[in-house]
Amino acid sequence: MKKTPLVLLMVSFVAILDFITKRWIVSNINPAEPIDILPFLRIVLVKNTGAAFGLFASLGNNFFLIVTFFAIILIIIYLISLPKGMELVAISLIFGGAVGNLIDRITVGQVIDFIDFYIGNWHWPAFNVADSALTVGITIFIFANLIKHLKESKGC
């Protein structure tokens, strides 16, 4: 399979799934009434004006729009020269996550988060499908490059 259709399929899938889930959450969840799913997981409605974990919210939405546009441009440049395999999957997930959160920033001026993972009183900051794709993509990217580096250092 050629690289471009695979990338477009993965990016589209992540962005569309992210969009649909966020719009459903906004339409159906009251911010004051989270829904318990499991003893460590609930659905909430959080509007995040910052970056990951709500960091740097004071910088404003325009700052994050610019950063995201530049990140997407760098991802596209990297994709042009990217080898195949797990690294391609990783970059596609990262790209899809970036697009998903960019859609929120453009349409509602903030990112909608709704997955609340917690243990006791400790809560991981709320996140969404795009954030999950970004995290999984970054993890795969790191492992793929570590494996590639180990193989190269052993002369395989």
Which residues carry out catalysis? 113, 131
Asked if residues 100 and 130 have their Cβ atoms less than 8 Å apart, the reply is: yes
Return d(Cα 20, Cα 129) in angstroms, integer: 10
Q: Which of 124, 104, 105 is nearest to 116 (CA)?
A: 124
Q: At what angle do helices 129-153 and 86-108 cross, to 10 degrees?
A: 150
With a CB cutoff of 8 Å and minimum separation 6, the contacts of 153 are none
Return d(Cα 127, Cα 116) in angstroms, integer: 7
